[in-house]
Amino acid sequence: MTGIPFAFPPCGPVQGFRTSSVVRYTGIPYATAARFEVPQPTADWTSVFQADSPCPACPQPTGKGSALVASVPLLQGTGISEVCQFLSVTVPPTATLTDKLPVMVWVYGGSFESGAGDSPIYDPSRLVAEHQVIVVNINYRLNIFGFLGDGEKRPANLGLLDQLEALRWVRRYIPAFGGTDDPKSITFFGQSAGGSSVADLMAVPGAPALFGRAIIQSAPFGLTRGRDELNSHLLKKAKSASRDMTVAEMIELCEKIDKAGSKKAPKGEMPFAPQYGYAPLPAEADLNAALNTNAPLIDMLVGSTDSEASLFLPFFSVVGVAIDAPIVGKSIHNHSVSKLNNTIYHPYDRTFAERHVLAGGKASLYRIKFSNKTNRLGACHTIDLPLLFGNKEVYDGAKILEGFSPEQIDLAGEQMRAIWADFAKGKQVHLTDSVLGLIEIAEIVDLSKRSI
C-alpha cells in the first residue's frame, strides 16, 4: 500500500489513515438500530466513507473504568452515541488483497455495562505490527440499552445480537482489507464480559461459519450462570425503561439497577448480563448441548489470571479495610482472593475447556502469573490487557503494573502477543516458562491429568 489507504468492500469505499506502524480504518458502521430494536445491517454507500474517527461509545454510567488499570480515562477520545454499532479495522502497512491474513475480532469487557471498542486501552497496533494479523475492534450496546430485556417491550441480548452482526460484517467484507474470510482463520477473542460473550456465542448455531477460533480471557462464568431469580428482581427495577426516556434518564435508571444489584452479591454486582432462553442463546438447560454441537468446529484458548479477584478487594468496604490491617492483612487478602476466584473464575474455565474437549473440540487452558513481590494486586483481573496491547502511553503509571520495569513489561507483552497470534494462525500453543513467570499454558489432551 502506498499513499492514502483505501479499501473497497462491497458495502462501499472506505478511506483510512496511516500511523507510524499500521493502517487503520476507524468508525465503520456495521449495523443500525433504534432503541430496543434488533440490529439490521447498514445500507451500502457509494461515496467514500472517511474512516478516521473513533467508534462512539454506548451511553454508560461514568466512573466505571478503573483507574487502577490504565493512566488515561477509559473513553478518552471517543464520543458517546446511542447509535454505537461501529467497528475499526487495523492492518499491517504492507497488507495486500491477496494476503488473506488471519483476522482477530476483539470484544471488550466492562461487566456488560461500560467500555468502548476504540478506547485507547484496546489499541491493537502492536499486535498487528509485530505479527502480521488483522484486528477488528467492535462496539456493541451495553447496560439497559443492550441487556436486561423483558423479551416483550425490550428484547433481551441486544448487545450480543450486535456482536453477531459485527462478525457477519467481518466475514463478508474483511477480504477487502487483506484479511481472510475462512472462519478457521478468524479468531473471536475478548476479556471479562468480552470473554463471556465469546463463550456464549460459541453456542449459537451459525457460530462456526463466523469464527473457527476463540480466545476467552477471564470470563466471569460464576456470575453469568444461574441468574433467573436475580434477573426477575432486576427486571422489576428496569420496568420504567422506555423509548421516550432521555439518555440521561436511562443512565440514571442504570445506576438504580446497579444499586439494586449490589444487594444481591456476588452475581448482582454485575447486574447486566446475557439472558439464556432469549435470542440468540438457548435456554440455560440446553447451553452445554449447544456448545457441544459446535465444539468440533471451534478451537479454543481459555483461561484467567492467577489472582483475578485482587483487583476488586479495595472496593469492598469491610475487606478493603481488613487487608491493610497489620500482621493479619496479608492472610485476609490471600484468603479473600482465593475465595472470590473460586466463586467466579478458576473452576469454571477448566470445566469449560474439559467439556469442549470431551465434545470433540480442541482446547488449551492458560493461567497468567505475571506478578512481583512489591505489588499486592499480583496477577489480577485486567493484567492481561497492558501485555496484550502494550500501549506505553496508556498504561504507564497504572497501579496494576507498579513494581515492574518497562523492560519486564515489554518482554512479557511480546511473549503474550506471540502466543495469542500463534493461536490465531493455527500454530500449536505450548507451555511457556519464562524467567518472568508470565503464563502457563497447556493443551487439554488427557483429562486424567488435572494440572498444567
- Residues 64-121 have pLDDT tens digits of 556 678 888 888 989 999 999 999 999 999 999 999 999 999 999 999 999 999 999 9
**pLDDT reported for residue 192:** 97
Measured between alpha carbons, how far is 321 from 112 in angstroms, rounded to an integer?
28
Measured between alpha carbons, how far is 381 from 191 in angstroms, rounded to an integer?
9
φ/ψ region of 54 (left if φ > 0, alpha if ψ in -120 to 50, else beta) reads: beta
- Model confidence at 431: pLDDT above 60: no
Give the closest residue to 171 by CA, choosing from 135, 209, 133.
209
The full 3-state SS of 281-346, as one line of letters, equals CCCHHHHHHHHHHHHHHCEEEEEEECCHHHHCHHHCHHHHHHCCCCCCHHHHHHHHHHHHHHHHCH
Q: Rounded to the nearest 10 degrees, how much is the dihedral formed by the CA atoms of 78, 148, 338, 413?
A: -30
- Model confidence at 388: pLDDT above 90: yes
Taking CA atoms, 102 is separated from 97, 208, 306, 387, in Å, by 13, 16, 29, 20
Percent of the chain with pLDDT strictly greater than 90 = 80
Q: Model confidence at 59, in pLDDT bands (50, 70, 90)?
A: very high
> What average pLDDT does the segment 258-282 reach?
95
One DSSP character per residue, 188-228 reads EEEETHHHHHHHHHTTSTTGGGT-SEEEEES--HHHHSS-H
Residues with Cβ within 8 Å of residue 18, at least 6 apart in sequence: 5, 24, 93
Give the closest residue to 172 by CA, choosing from 209, 127, 139, 198.
209
Measured between alpha carbons, how far is 271 from 382 in angstroms, rounded to an integer?
20
How would you classify the pairing of strands 14-15 and 6-7? antiparallel
**Cell, residue 10:** 462491497
Q: How deeply is 146 buried, as exposed, middle or buried, from its count of CB atoms within 10 A (0-12, 13-18, 19+)?
A: buried
> What average pLDDT does the segment 355-383 reach?
93
| CB 430 within 8 Å of CB 441 | yes
Measured between alpha carbons, how far is 62 from 40 in angstroms, rounded to an integer?
29
Measured between alpha carbons, how far is 308 from 118 in angstroms, rounded to an integer?
24
Measured between alpha carbons, how far is 34 from 29 in angstroms, rounded to an integer?
14
Measured between alpha carbons, how far is 389 from 121 in angstroms, rounded to an integer?
7
> What average pLDDT does the segment 426-444 reach?
62
Q: What is the number of other CB atoms lying within 10 angstroms of the CB of residue 201?
A: 24
**pLDDT reported for residue 448:** 41
Measured between alpha carbons, how far is 316 from 339 in angstroms, rounded to an integer?
14
Measured between alpha carbons, how far is 95 from 449 in angstroms, rounded to an integer?
42
| CB 129 within 8 Å of CB 92 | yes
Give the closest residue to 204 by CA, choosing from 151, 139, 276.
276
Domains of the chain: 6-443 (3.40.50.1820)
Measured between alpha carbons, how far is 13 from 6 in angstroms, rounded to an integer?
7
**Cell, residue 80:** 458517546
**pLDDT reported for residue 451:** 34
- What pTM did the predictor assign? 0.94
pLDDT per position as a tens digit, 278-334:
999 999 999 999 999 999 999 999 999 999 999 988 766 556 555 666 766 677 778
Q: Give how far the C-alpha of residue 59 lies from the chain's centroid of Cα atoms, to the nearest Å.
A: 18
| CB 51 within 8 Å of CB 25 | yes
**pLDDT reported for residue 323:** 62
> What average pLDDT does the segment 32-36 reach?
97
Amino acid code (one letter) for 72: V
Measured between alpha carbons, how far is 133 from 103 in angstroms, rounded to an integer?
6
Across 281-290, b (16+ Cβ under 10 Å) vs e yields bbeeeebeeb
**Cell, residue 296:** 468440533
How high is the mean pLDDT of the chain? 91
